[in-house]
Amino acid sequence: MAESAELILDGKSITLPVIEGSEHEKAFDIGKLRDQTGYVTLDSGYKNTGATKSAITFLDGEEGILRYRGYPIEQLAEKSSFLEVAYLLIYGALPTEKEFTDFNHEITQHTLVHEDIRKILDGFPSSAHPMGILSSLICSLTAFYPKSIAPEISKEELDLNIVRLMAKISTIAAWSYKNSVGHPLIYPRNDLDYCANFLYMMFSFPTEKYEVNPIVVRALNKLLILHADHEQNCSTSTVRLVGSANASLYGSVSAGINALWGPLHGGANQEVIEMLESIEADGGDTSKWIDKAKDKNDSFRLMGFGHRVYKNFDPRATIIKKAADEVLQALGLQDSPLLKIAQELEQAALTDQYFIERKLYPNVDFYSGIIYKALGIPTEMFTVMFALGRLPGWIAQWKEMRENKEPIGRPRQIYTGELERDYKEISAR
């Protein structure tokens, strides 16, 4: 017999079916609640609301577990590549050798963007934020590929849209940076892999030869894998909600980019670096700032510590800390003042009872900001890097939502405004 729960409301018994996931997560199915009772549920911030059933990513915040399609994030970060993980998320299984070769080849062949993209880019002032440029240019792809906006498209057309988006976002992201600093745009190279190609477009110049450091490529590969999906976060939920209106993949992802742009979602690693720079400018005394963080009357808080979902250690943080150590060593930055400050803060969080009792451990944003800074990526590009990594997850979530034919998202509200009142002419107000 299927498990259920009983809700007693106004003396009437309402049966709520219990839904159980493959990892034994349980939820009350309230899909018929309003029809049966006239009531809705109120859950600001959706902290206790499951908006969908998904087979893509499993996250256990209490145990510090993250898996893509069943594969532990630790194994994928160590053994896989970003494009292989992208294929896994989007299509549900690790690719065969032929499938991966074809997928990689198709993406490589589509990294060029239409030359008119350059004209659109020229319309942005140099002060434009790279995230604003990225969102706009991704949405503009609907103009270059008008078939993409059709409510129903063939599997072949969808696969082509996926390849185009995966391929072109790295070019557009690099160009958004080049535009912001007034540097000449660099075209992609088909002889480089995905991560190396992006770094080449970001940092090379037409006037000189640029060699991509393989250690830096490996670190970037890990960073992108660790950010590839995180189930129903703000930007992913945005992509699914916009997509539920039958909006195109490009338009839905553009909306997700805008959600990620919000500092409460995608700006944490930038805030980490800004915090470290502030501490350095103040003399570098970390004990002073740790005391400020403990003072409940002080508005200062340590950025990059703790997580809304992970109540244990962020599993991604352990992986990325090792990558950060390797990159800083390889680039000769192991003695940098910012790193010293970061290490002292990290040590305090791992040994001080104040942080241990509150489980305020360093998270992925703490270490990713340090790596991006070491790579020479400016802070205003940090969220663009986040978007580059998160793209496969957005695509996979949008694709799953469409394949499951989920209804258009339309939350309810509890109205708290004025009661009905009569209109008054302006002379009588």
Which residues carry out catalysis? Answer: 307, 365
b/e burial code for range 204-235 (CB count within 10 A of at least 16 → b): beeeeeeebeeebbbbbbbbbbbbbbbbbbeb
- What phi, psi does 42 have (nearest 5°)? -120, 120
CA 197 distance to own-chain centroid:
21
Cα dihedral: 135, 140, 141, 142 (round 10):
120
- The span from the CA of 223 to the CA of 221, in Å, is 6
Q: Which residues contact 303 (CB under 8 A, 6 or more apart)?
A: 268, 271, 272, 274, 275, 365, 366
Q: What is the largest CA-CA distance in the chain?
A: 79
The pair of three-digit structure tokens given for residue 189, joined into one six-digit string: 């190279």
The pair of three-digit structure tokens given for residue 299, joined into one six-digit string: 């508005």
Q: What residues are paired with 48 via a beta bridge?
A: none
CA angle, corner 102, sides to 98 and 105, nearest 5? Answer: 140
The pair of three-digit structure tokens given for residue 375, joined into one six-digit string: 């790579």
The pair of three-digit structure tokens given for residue 371, joined into one six-digit string: 């790596």
- The span from the CA of 138 to the CA of 391, in Å, is 11
CB 342 within 8 A of CB 371: no
- The span from the CA of 178 to the CA of 182, in Å, is 6
Q: Which residues contact 270 (CB under 8 A, 6 or more apart)?
A: 263, 369, 379, 380, 382, 383
**Residue type at position 421:** R
- Check the CA dihedral 362-268-338-174 and report its sign: positive
Coil, strand or helix at 71:
strand
Q: Which residues contact 187 (CB under 8 A, 6 or more apart)?
A: 112, 171, 201
E strand intervals along 220-338: none
Residue 65, burial from CB neighbour count under 10 angstroms (0-12, 13-18, 19+)? middle
- Check the CA dihedral 300-272-316-239 and report its sign: positive
